[in-house]
Structures are given as C-alpha cells and as structure tokens.
Chains A and B, each alone.
Chain A
Amino acid sequence: MAITFTLNGAEKTVDVDPAMPLLWVVRDVEGLTGSKFGCGIAQCGACTMHIDGAAQRTCVLPISAVAGKSVTTIEGLGQGDALHRVQQAWIEEDVPQCGYCQSGMIMAAAALVDASDGVPSDEDIAEKMDNICRCGTYTRVRAAIKRAAQA
C-alpha cells in the first residue's frame, strides 16, 4: 500500500506493509540510520522521532499512522549544517559515550526544550526523559537540556 508522509521536509511515498513500523521504514527503506532500534516495544526510546513536532517512539508506530504527517529524524533536526541548540549543548556538555541511544535522547530533549517556556525543571526533565542509556549519560543529559534551554 502506498503511504505518503513528509520525512525531514521532503515528501516520501513508500509502498510497504501498512503495519511496518516507521522506524524500519526510515532505516531499511529510506536508508536513514540515525534513529536506532533498541527494544521494539517502545520502552527504551532509541527510536524517538518527532511526528508533527512531538517526540514519539517509532519502533511500534505503524507507517500507516504517519500518512500525511511530518516526520523529523535526528538527520533533519538541525537546519542544514547548523545544529539544533540541543545538539550544540550536547557537544558542549560532552554527553555521548557509546552514542547509540543518543539520537533518541536528543530527539526527546529537543521536543522538551522546544515546548518549554524557559528552562525545564528537574521534575519536567525527569518525567519527559525516560529514554534508556546504558552508558549512564543521565547527569550530562540533564545539564545539556538546561544549557540548551538557556541558549
């Protein structure tokens, strides 16, 4: 079934099983591998993308659910070579270690920062940033979010 959606600003039409999760369409069909597979049950957040601006876990989200919607992945978060302020803060705080969860972590953080009026509180960050990181970058994630919100 042909499904049309917007991926990082460009219109895409894919002919796949409508049940195929967005994550796998983006990775294996569209060839954008920045978004990661970690659990397949929307627990870890490595697959987080923005759907019409809101952070969403895409490993269980059928492609049919994004027909007509706008999808942004880590590859499309910045404007050209200019990084999103969250990505910039990530670099300044030296957040990533192995880096595998970081695309999803950054997408969740960017949605939080973009939606926040001012600097998110520790409580906001704790609630919204539920992504799993096995390298334990959490304290730096918190610092980078605050830094980005002040940028």
Chain B
Amino acid sequence: MTDHANTPDTTVTRRGLLAGAGALVIGFSLPLSGRRGALAAADDGPVWKTSDEAAQINAWLRIGPDGSVTVVTGRSEMGQGPTTALPQALAEELGVPMDRVTFAMSPVDPAYNNTLFGAMITGGSTSVKSDFEQMRRAGASAREMLKAAAAEKWGVDAAELKVENGTISHAHHSATFGELAGAAAEMEAPKDVALKKPADWTLIGTDVKRLDTHAKATGQATFGIDVVVPDMLHAAILQAPTFGATLESVDAKPATDMKGVAQVVELDDAIMVLADTWWTADQALSKLSPKWTGGAEDLDDAKVDRVLTEGLDAAEAAQAVSEGDADGALSGAAKTVEATYSAPYLAHLTMEPMTATADVRADKAELWLPTQAQTWTAGAVAKAVGLKPEQVTIHTTFLGGGFGRRAEQDFALQAAQASKAAGRPVKLVWSRPQDVRHDFYRPASKVRFTVGLDEDGLPMAWKARVCCPSIAQRMLPSMIKEGVDPFAVEGLTERAYALPADRSITYVMPELAVPVGFWRSVGHSQNGFFMEAMIDELADAAGMDPLEYRRKLLPQDSRHRRVLDAAADAIGWSEAPAEGRHRGIAVHESFGSIAAEAIEVSVDGDNKVTLHRASACVDCAVAVNPNIIRQQMESALVYGLTAAMFGGVSLKNGQVQEGNFDRIDVMRLRHMPPVEVRIIAEGDAEMGGIGEPGTPPAAPALVAALRRATGKPIRSLPLTAEGFTFG
C-alpha cells in the first residue's frame, strides 16, 4: 500500500481562513440573488449552518498581515477562468495588484451559492455573472474598513485617504494593507458601499494573467485524479454495459486472488475493484466475468433514428411556439423549403476521466472531487450513505474539463459507496472506455423545418417540429411546461431574426434509454446548428449572399448584426476567397451573449477538409478579462468543430460501441487554423456568459462552407458520417 500523506489543501476551511491574528476577513451571507451582504457575523441560517463555526461568517476574502489577499470562490475552475476573473473583480474595488492575490475554493455553504441558481453550481455560463457584484462588494467593504483603520490611526478623515496598489496613504502617512489588516478587522463594517463606475475600472477589462497558469504549467495543480488521502485505496470500475442493465452475479475470486487487491465491491449496476494502485485495480477488474441482466438490449442507431423520425411525423405534439397561422400563411408562399436536420448523441470526453475520492465514516463523509455541482453532490452522497447533507464535506479540486458532465453525481456516489464498503478512503478513477460508454450524452435530435418564402426569398411562414429526448425529465422536471422541455427547443424559439408573424414550433418528447444531460451549450449546441444551417439554405434559395441575407433579416441596430459584421470583417468576407476556398458564417445567441463565427475551407476530391482560417466575435456586454474571453471563444470553436466533424456515439444492443480515442476522434493541433477573436463589450446590456456561447455557431459555419464547396446539402452530423474528414 502506498501512502502519501500529502492530502491537497484544495478547499479553504473557515477555521483556516479565520486563524491567525492580524488578518482581516470579510464575509457575507448571500443565500440568494438580491440579498445584499452584511458583514461578518451575518447569519441567514439556511440548511447547512449548524455548527458554531458555520454560524460565524462565510468568508469571501482574507487579507493577511503580509498583505496577501485570498479570495474564496464557490465557482468551480474547469478552464473557463472564474478563479481569475472573480478575484480580478474583487481586486478592482479593493485596490490591490493581482500579484498579491490568490484564490481558494469554498466549502459547501449557501453563502457560496450561484446567485442565479440558489445552489453551488457551476454551469450555464453564469460564474462571473453570478458573483460579479458580490466580489466587488467584498473588495469595497474591505477597502473601507482598511481606510477606517488608517484614518483612526493617523487621526485624519477617511475621505482624504488614497488607496493604491495595496497601500493606503495620506499627506505624511503610508501603510500597507497587511500593516492595517489587524486594526481593520476591529472596524465596523460599512452598511453599504459605493462601487466604482465602469468608466473608472482599471483592472476589470484588462488581460490580467490567469492565477492558475503557473500551477498548470508545472504539474502542481491538483485535479480530482491527483488527490491522495492517507490510507486510501484505488478503485477501478466496470458498469453494466447495456443501458438500464443490472448486475446479476460475479465471482470476485479471480480479482481478490491478485496481489495488491483489497476488495471487490458490488453495486446494483457496477463492480469496483479496490487495490493498492489504480493499475492493479484495473488489471484485476479485467479478470472478472460478471453476469448482467436486463437493460435496453433492443436499442441501436436504427431505433434511435426511427423513434426520432416517428416524433417528426406524430399527429400529437406539444406547442412550443404558436403565433398567427403558420399553415394558412404557408399556403400563400411563393416558395416552400422543407428540410429535416439531425444531430447525434454526443459524449463529453473531458480529458480527466470521471473521478472522485471519498472517505465515508459512520457520522460524516468527506469528498475530494472535480464537480460542477457541490450542493447536489453533498445532498446525493448524504442520501446514498445515510447521512445528513451537513455531515458531508466537499473539497473541490481543479476540474480536468467539465462541459456539463461534472454536474452529475454518479462518480461521487460510486466513490462514496466504495469507501463505505471498505471502511477506508477510496479514490475512484474511471477508465476512458467507462467514461465514453457511461456518459450523460448530449441528446440526439431531429428537426423538420417547413418555411414559406415570399417573392423576395424572405420567410413569411415558419414551421418546425422538434423531436429530442428530454434532459429536464431526469434533472429538472419542473422546467417542463405543457409538455415542452425548454432545453430541447432553446435556440429555435427565439426571435433574433425578423421571423414571420405566422410561426409554429412543436415538440415531441421521445422515450429512449440513453441517459442525456447537459453538454456545453446544451440545446443550443444542436439547435444553433439546425437554425443557422436552415437560414443558410434559405439564403441559397433566395439567391443571396449568406451574410447579406442574415443582415436583411436583422434590424439595423441589432447586436446580432454587429457581431456578425465583426466576424465577417475579421475573415475578410468583403473580398472573395482564393480559388478553391469557400466560407461559411453563422451567428447565435445563447446564455446572454451573441457569438458569430466564420470559417474558410477547401475540400479535395476525397472530401478531405482543410480549415484555412477562422474568425469569431462575441458580444457579452461586459468583458471582465478579455484574454480569458478569447480563450473561451477559441475553445468553444474547437469543441464545436470537433462535434461537427467527429462527434457522436453509435449504439448497438443497448451499448455504446466506441470506447476510446482510437475510435472516437477529436480535433488535433494539425487541424486547427489561425483564429481571430473579437470582443464587443459596450452598451448597457446585462453581462452575458462566455463558457458556452461560442460553441453553437461552429457547426453551422463549417457546414455552410462545406455545402458551398461541394454543392451538396448537409443536414446531418457528424460530417465523418457524410464522408468528410480533415485532411
């Protein structure tokens, strides 16, 4: 048994933060959006607060006697940058340079809830939007308390003090935050603080370096898979290969006979081997021949296609949009365009496979894991092992990619059950095939558009029928209204374009045994493709340039139009592409931001695709850290293009056929063209999200370019199934 006593200190504890004299700790209790912070000792008393310690404060910020600033956040870091952008917002108000600032992940407590969701959840491109004001208020409150301490010390008026670079000064005095922190902690917290006007921001809006880069460039960042707890066992897992199947029996002896194996744990639908190293556990697992029973054995690609097609043809459907008389208007159309689009089930393929470490005892449980949903995890683990949520401690590590997959609880529950069975800490790591075959997939979907065009080729009647498995059904059933899962139709129902007054969008919820869940940009991921590819077809039907056609459908002052124009400009749309090259462009709004992307391709006689250049523009209204926004746009483009070209799992006998990167390909560096990213952040619109909005336009921009290159209609993804591949 290897035993490394280097349990990472990835999560700040309240006691740790409060410890030490001479420090200023700023806390808030803001269980839900709209509650303004009261300093220190505030207690709104929701579910998690039972201990005396928890009743004290919820710390957002600690200024040490050395002047170091620790910013505590409940938003998980999966690459999208909240652990830089949020401290950056706080530092703006506090008046401290970023090189003094570090961050720590918070424990589970309602104080750290995502203010838009009322739970500790990182998703929906909300991290910065959720916490932006709280962070600035915490920084401003600390600044005022530091000023009050300095004013008292020097016998001057606080209003005359200057705050700059972590120092407070007056005509003949100067002191650092560290020197003042102890005295500041004794000051009364301000009831309310004025925040800087955006015009006065000097840090927000600048390319502050990410606070996590050094750790990630030196191998020091602790991901879930890196957690080491004293006395822990390593677990490998094999889950029932057929969706819905359960474990009938397994002879554990071939595994337990092996050196280093401690135990075999049986769950209803999985087996885990616990051993001294993960490799030993995985080897032992491969020696087992479990018998599984039941499950959706009749499920395969043909059935999925059939069920979705039946949904498109069904007589009964829920009404997602009903405006005017679409059928009546269609009968008067100069031309009708009908097109059926489809998109496959998609795995997330986070680089870090699912993993969690758990230490479950009789009266408490502790978990170290990469999660996007701490509140849900604590609740689910408590229920599974017979504890109360407040008896569960969650330490959030770095996430080796999230993309929605880590909002799920399956891996955490398995680790907890393994630890409970073993009476010891257990680190569970999934193999890649387990990760690919037991995902909560982006739902497969089909949509049939029937659009009537007028004499000028502009839409005058609009119908769409959507058939897409429901995510909300399992995760958030209350969101289903009158039979419509909003995730299944989002991106199709909105009215960015001047769509006809006569419009009907209907929805059929199919029943299929494939587990579905949130996948980067959720319904927008496929619906953005459907919608923009259809608009592109209509442009062709109207005989118009696809950019001009879109502009014609967008109001003069439309933000969409401005974003579209910027992406077009960045790829040089006004000049024809070189001989043999073709371009596509798309624009889509999601998560409060508008993103447009343009791609230039060439295609050889074997349908080998070369991407020559790409551009992207996003209007997110407020840009806290433009460099992170550029990163996210680059990232979303790659994620979306990968899905468009390669994405999709295939099903046979109720099982996912692909298991690893040898059969499920993703974009590599050699496929990636130069990308120019532009950001629009002006006006008084509400701050938009940034993690997801860049994903939806990628597929339709690529498909539009390929359609122009080949002259073939492309209405189904992935493109590899249509005969394309990257050259």
Q: Are B210's CB and A28's CB within 8 A?
A: no
Q: Are A96's CB and B213's CB within 8 A?
A: yes
**Can you list, as one digit per residue, whether each of B71-104 has a CB less than 8 Å from chain A (1) or not (0)?**
0000001111100000000000000000000000
Q: Within the assembled complex, what's the spacing in Å between the Cα atoms of A121 and B221?
A: 31
Q: Within the assembled complex, what's the spacing in Å between the Cα atoms of A47 and B257?
A: 29
Shortest C-beta distance, B695 to chain A (Å), equals 10
Q: Within the assembled complex, what's the spacing in Å between the Cα atoms of A141 and B668?
A: 11
Q: Are A94's CB and B429's CB within 8 A?
A: no
List the B side residues contacting A28 at CB < 8 Å.
2, 234, 276-279
List the B side residues contacting A17 at CB < 8 Å.
280
**Can you list, as one digit per residue, whether each of B197-230 has a CB less than 8 Å from chain A (1) or not (0)?**
0000000000001101111111111110110100
Knowing A98-B79, A132-B351, say if A40 contacts B660 (CB, 8 Å): yes
List the A side residues contacting B349 at CB < 8 Å.
134
Q: How many A-B residue pairs have CB under 8 A?
A: 189
Chain A interface residue count: which class?
35 or more
Question: Is B637 among interface residues, defined by CB-CB distance under 8 A?
Answer: yes
Q: Within the assembled complex, what's the spacing in Å between the Cα atoms of A132 and B2?
A: 30
Knowing A36-B400, A83-B218, say if A99 contacts B432 (CB, 8 Å): no
Knowing A39-B661, A87-B217, say if A100 contacts B668 (CB, 8 Å): no
Q: Are B217's CB and A106's CB within 8 A?
A: yes
Q: Are A99's CB and B218's CB within 8 A?
A: no
Q: Are B668's CB and A135's CB within 8 A?
A: no
Q: Are A136's CB and B638's CB within 8 A?
A: yes
Q: Within the assembled complex, what's the spacing in Å between the Cα atoms of A141 and B631?
A: 12
List the B side residues contacting A36 at CB < 8 Å.
223, 225, 351-352, 400
Q: Within the assembled complex, what's the spacing in Å between the Cα atoms of A87 and B398?
A: 19
Q: Are A130's CB and B351's CB within 8 A?
A: no
Choose one: A20, A41, A129; the contact of B669 (CB below 8 Å): A129
Shortest C-beta distance, A55 to chain B (Å), equals 14
Question: Is A33 among interface residues, defined by CB-CB distance under 8 A?
Answer: yes
Choose one: B81, B222, B627, B672; the contact of A139 (CB below 8 Å): B672
Q: Are A35's CB and B219's CB within 8 A?
A: yes
Among B80, B631, B674, residue most surrounded by chain A Cβ atoms (within 10 Å): B631
Knowing A31-B4, A43-B662, say if A100 contacts B217 (CB, 8 Å): no
Knowing A35-B219, A36-B351, A74-B218, say if A142 contacts B669 (CB, 8 Å): yes
Question: Is B478 among interface residues, defined by CB-CB distance under 8 A?
Answer: no
Q: Within the assembled complex, what's the spacing in Å between the Cα atoms of A75 and B403?
A: 28
What would 18 A/B residue contacts be, using CB atoms closer than 8 Å?
A: A27-B278, A31-B228, A34-B220, A39-B432, A40-B660, A43-B660, A74-B219, A83-B218, A94-B209, A96-B217, A97-B80, A97-B631, A98-B352, A99-B215, A106-B217, A129-B669, A129-B670, A136-B639
Known: A31-B2, A100-B352, A139-B675. 20 other contacts (CB 8 A): A34-B219, A35-B219, A41-B661, A73-B219, A75-B218, A77-B218, A96-B212, A98-B350, A99-B215, A101-B351, A102-B217, A129-B669, A130-B669, A132-B666, A132-B668, A133-B351, A136-B637, A139-B674, A141-B669, A142-B669
* Chain A to chain B: the 3 pairs with minimum beta-carbon distance, closest first: A34-B219, A136-B638, A100-B400
